[in-house]
Structure formats: structure tokens, C-alpha cells
Amino acid sequence: MSAPALALDGVSRRFVKPLDLAERAANLLGAGRRAQVVRAVDGVSLDVAPGEVLGLVGESGCGKSTLARIASGIMEPSEGAVRIEGANRAGLGREARRRADLAVQMVFQDPMGSLNPRMRAGDIIGEAPLVHGIVGRGELADYVAGQMRLVGLDPALRDRYPHQFSGGQRARIGIARALAVKPTILVCDEATAALDVSIQAQVLNLFAELRRSLGLTLLFVSHDLGVVEHISDRVAVMYLGRIVEEATTDALFARPNHPYTQALLAEVPRLEARKRRFSALKGELPSPLAPPPGCHFHPRCPHAFDRCRIERPALREVAPGQRAACHLNDEATRSSSRA
């Protein structure tokens, strides 16, 4: 089998809030204050095969955006390696690194926040390919027109500014900009979250179409299970910096293994024709500053037992193509082998 298009290998990212002056002064007096460390991403390994769409879901604060930034090369991991088509990005020479960085592009949630308000749409899309020598100045106009058509924008709108476009059109500009440097991998961070449902449907269809026509590999990060289920081949579920489950979309939605995945699926509102009784997972997402020991999910888990409070469960295969990090799976094998 060929190397994965994108591989994350034991990737972690820590953010440290250094001690301020008062705290350092207090330490001189023996207060023993320590810098606060957040492990936003904690030992994550993921592979995305060429041409595959991997959905990454999780609630706010779970570290999915940090992971997206690491995957796209905007942020360096504190530990671990990111491999683009098999090559460790950190070990690449200057030119190879530049190519690897161009190969992975990111599409952001808020088109208004990620498009320069004082640049015309055509310049936003054309700037990077020009700088990177993908097109010459002479062919630039045609190239930009082609990119705009690719994402369903009328090239006649190239001289407009971002605020003159609708939300859906701005999302398309963001996609065109990412595609303009001919990436093989797109990392989409909540790329449709700010859009109305009817516009979101247009953009999701566009992603599906682009993936087919350009053979793109997608890492699709979202909090919206419906969106992820619709677009992904495989799905990874993240909770407080860790992947708790990873499986093909069908398996994950038909047979979720991890109690957190099960709770998420149970609570996603679905279009249905009658009233339902909402049940609720207890508790809140704990602070990433002080994650619970052992399995991060244990304080909210209905099945937690002693081991969950002490030992971090490893991601293990629970069915072909499905991995989950839950001690209950060990219990199940133990009791069945005993029987």
C-alpha cells in the first residue's frame, strides 16, 4: 500500500502560560507556583489515505482546530511528526519543505476573518500562485478566472472586495485561494459552520465535486456530526486532546464503541417528524487546564470504573477498521475469555 497522504505520528501540542511577575516573586518566597500547561493535542496518531476524506469531530476545546493547524503546517507540534506523502515535514530541506507546505492548504471557518478586506477577490486568489511561481504574471488573469470557475464563482466578480460577496461566495473564495497553489490535501476547519443550511449544502456539494475532479485528500474538521457523516469516508472522534475513537463512517454511526461517541450520536438533533425526549449526558467538558486523570471522559461516563480513573486507555482495534480507547473493551474480552 502506498504511504498515507497525510500522517500524524504521536503528535502533541502544549501551550504554556509562563508565570507572571507576581507569581515569580511569590516563588522566591517559596510559594512553589508552576507554569500552567495545556495539552491541547495529546499524543494523536492519524493517517489519511490518498483521496480519502477523514472527518474529525469534537466539541469546543477538544483540540481539533489545533490539530488542523498542525496538520496544515501553520503550527509546529511540540512532539511527534507530521508526514506528508511519507516524508517527515520537520526533516525536509528548504525547497522540499516549501513544496510540502504548498501541498497542504487550509480552509477556514470565518471567510470574513480570513480574507483580507482590502484586497480584491481576484488578488486574494492569485497572490499565492504568483509568489510561488505556479503561474507567470502574463497568465495570471486566466488562471484566476479558471480557479474562480472551478469553485462556482463568476470571474466577472474578480474586482470586488470580500464585503461585496454573500457568505456562501466568500466561502468559495476561501476555497479557491486554497486550491490556487495546487495542493493535494485540504484541511478544512469548520469550513461550513458559519453558513446557512441551504448555503452549507451548496458548499458541501462543492467539496464533494472538487474531491472527485481533483482527487483531493480532505481532513474535514467539524463539530457537526451530520456534516461529517455526510462527507467523510472515515471519522475520528476527539475529546480533550485525544482521539477516543476512529472508524469508517458506516461503522462509527452504526456501532459506536466509545461511550463518548455513543453519547454524541444519541444527542445530535436529527430531522424527524415527531417530538422526541432529549436525554442528556451529564456534566460539562472539563477544563483542559486540569483534565481528569486516566480516561479524560470518566467523570461524565455512565460506565466508568476504578481503572478509568487511573489508567489512560490506549486506542486499540475493536473491529476491523475500528479503533477505540476504552477500558470496557478489555473487560469485555476478559469476561468472554473467562466464560
Query: For binding to other proteins (CB under 8 A), which residues are involved?
Result: 59-60, 166-169, 196-202, 204-205, 208-209, 223-227, 229-231, 249, 253, 263-264, 266-281, 284-285
| Grid coordinates given for 322 | 475500528
- Phi, psi angle pair for 15, to nearest 5°: -115, 130
The grid coordinates listed for 188 are 478544512
- The partner residues of 9 in beta bridges, in order of sequence, read 81
**Max CA-CA distance within the chain?**
75
CA 326, CA 15: separation in Å to the nearest integer? 26
Min CB(41)–other proteins separation in Å: 18
In the complex with other proteins, which residue's Cβ is closer, 26 or 285?
A: 285
**Nearest distance in Å: CB 278, other proteins:** 4
CB of 196 vs other proteins, minimal distance in Å: 4
CA 80 – CA 137 distance, rounded (Å): 40
Paired with 322 in beta bridges are 247, 319
CB of 230 to other proteins, least distance (A): 3
Q: Cell 455513543 belongs to which residue?
A: 262
- Taking the least distance from each CB to other proteins, the nearer of 124 and 225 is 225
Three-state DSSP at 249 gives: helix
- Three-state secondary-structure class, residue 75: coil
Q: Which is nearer to other proteins, 126 or 162 (CB)?
A: 162
- One-letter amino acid for residue 115 of the chain: L
Where is 68: in which H helix or E strand?
helix 64-72
Residue 119 or 201 having the CB closest to other proteins: 201
Q: Which is nearer to other proteins, 129 or 168 (CB)?
A: 168
Report the distance separating Cα 295 and Cα 330, nearest Å: 14
In the complex, what is the shortest distance from the CB of residue 234 to other proteins, in angstroms, rounded to a whole number?
12
Nearer to other proteins, 83 or 258 (CB): 258
Question: Considering the complex, what minimum distance in angstroms separates the CB of residue 2 from other proteins?
Answer: 23
| Helices 121-131 and 167-179, axial angle in degrees (round to 10) | 10
What amino acid occupies position 296? H
Q: Which amino acid is at 172?
A: R
Q: What is the DSSP letter of 192?
A: T
Residue 225 beta carbon to other proteins: minimum distance, rounded to whole angstroms: 7
- Residue 213 or 279: the one with the smaller Cβ distance to other proteins is 279
Nearer Cβ to other proteins (59/79): 59
Closest approach, Cβ 274 to other proteins, in A, equals 6
Residue 119, all three cell numbers: 484586497
Q: Which is nearer to other proteins, 12 or 200 (CB)?
A: 200
Minimum CB distance to other proteins, residue 306 (Å): 23
Q: Where are the beta strands (DSSP E) in the chain?
A: 6-17, 36-48, 53-57, 79-84, 87-88, 104-107, 185-189, 217-222, 234-239, 242-248, 316-319, 322-324
